[in-house]
Structure 1
Amino acid sequence: MDLTTIYLVDDDQDLLDYLATTMTSDTREIVTYSSASQFLEQVSHINGQGCVVLDVNMPDMNGLELQEKLNEANFQLPVVFLTAHAEVPMAVKAMQAGAVDFIQKPVQPQELIACVDRVVNKPQTNLPSPEEAEVVRKTVSELTPREREVMNLIVQGASNKEAAQILDISPRTVEIYRATVMRKMDAPNLPDLVRKAIAIGM
């Protein structure tokens, strides 16, 4: 079986050490970098099967800036972002720029393993096919006006509390609408909902 290399880029050395220890296997090699600039220095030497996992918020160069440089270099491996809740809007921008997924911290090794295995073994795109996008468009058209408002705020990274303030409703009501939107959109998680929204230009 081919060896998959996962490149972890994060300024939290303890997290890098923990993930490297827990994710390494006979089929998965973990290579860590403690800064975006350190990773960039090695980009030209990277090839083969794998993916890159980037922290959104790093001191020398944030994940979005690094992603932009990778795009300019025509870097081919899929990119997954790690993000704190407050950084979700940045992760949404990252997906608009081509990232295939994002995971909110605190990250669990098994969750990250499932994510990287999924993105490595599928076409390197973060968007549904045209046929799938048409289904998404139809589903969105069947949402109520309030459900569409909530969906718009969710995919922009708003928390339930923030959405409640904007819509002048209670956080609990937003939570109910949010669950309904996720169910109707057949979105198991926030990145999947964002992916579908991007596909139809929301």
Structure 2
Amino acid sequence: MSVRVVVADDHAVVREGLRALLGAVEGYTIVGTAATGREAVRAAVTLRPDVLVLDINMPDGSGIEAARKVTREAPGVAVLMLTMFDDDDSVFAAMRAGALGYVLKGADPEDIIRAISGVAAGNAVFGPGIAQRAIAYLSGPRPPDTPFESLTPREREVLDLIAAGLGNTAIAARLRVSPNTVANHISSVFAKLQVASRAEAIIKARDAGLGH
């Protein structure tokens, strides 16, 4: 019986690359693709694949948010995160959102195929370098929920200061980093929160209790 897979990534080259990879291996069928977080959720709910392969950095809703919705609305679909993000916050946020597996995009094709097969069978699968952190996380006490789980601690700190009304220069002075570093953090925050302006970011942050 073939493992039915939906691939969700905002880069067409990744989607087509996985289609070609799985198409060359017996026992796997790509039943759909998605380019945004919203499309990923829709495909998982309507197509009910065995596995949803999902990136973290997605337009129209992050992969973390999409994983959480899929876990809730289509619990029979196993979520495998395939991403470039290897920081602890991203890994643990994905796990809290219900992802069964977490593999980096630089993994060997054989490792990606094994990961898809593993989560389809209901197993937790983590790529090299991720496994030890996942074990430590699973064996330790559950951390409290925090807003904007896809953000790193530094990005959340920057967002908190933005919500408090500080400009880039003031934030740089407060954190003792360069204004360029602050600007880079802000660009990453905007991408992860799917906002286009500082005002939108402030509204979201203050609604979540930041900036006070």
Answer yes or no: is 1:45 the counterpart of 2:46. Answer: yes
1:192 to 131, 135, 149: 131
> Is the contact made by 1:56 and 1:87 (CA closer than 8 Å) also made in structure 2?
no
AA in 2 matched with 1:198: Y
- Secondary structure of 1:190's counterpart equals coil
The two structures have a TM-score, normalised by structure 2, of 0.57
Distance 2:39 2:11 in 1: 14
Distance 2:2 2:137 in 1: 32
Q: Which aligned pairs between 1:1-202 and structure 2 lie closer than 5 A?
A: 2-24=1-23, 25-30=25-30, 31-47=32-48, 50-85=50-85, 87-121=87-121, 123=122, 126=124, 189-201=128-140
Distance 2:63 2:83 in 1: 10
Distance 2:42 2:36 in 1: 10
> Is the contact made by 2:34 and 2:40 (CA closer than 8 Å) also made in structure 1?
yes
| Runs of 4 or more consecutive aligned structure 1 residues displaced over 3 Å after TM superposition | 85-88
Distance 1:80 1:54 in 2: 6
Distance 1:37 1:11 in 2: 11
Distance 2:127 2:13 in 1: 30
CA displacement 1:71-121 (0-9 Å, x = unmatched): 331522211112214555212211133211211123432221011112222
CA displacement 1:147-181 (0-9 Å, x = unmatched): xxxxxxxxxxxxxxxxxxxxxxxxxxxxxxxxxxx
Distance 2:6 2:87 in 1: 21
Distance 1:195 1:109 in 2: 22
- Secondary structure of 2:99's counterpart equals coil
Count of residues in Structure 1 that have an aligned counterpart in Structure 2: 139
Distance 1:15 1:188 in 2: 18
Distance 1:5 1:32 in 2: 12
Instruction: State the percentage of identical aligned residues.
Output: 21
> C-alpha root-mean-square deviation of aligned residues, in Å?
2.5
Distance 1:74 1:114 in 2: 22
- Secondary structure of 1:82's counterpart equals strand
The two structures have a TM-score, normalised by structure 1, of 0.60
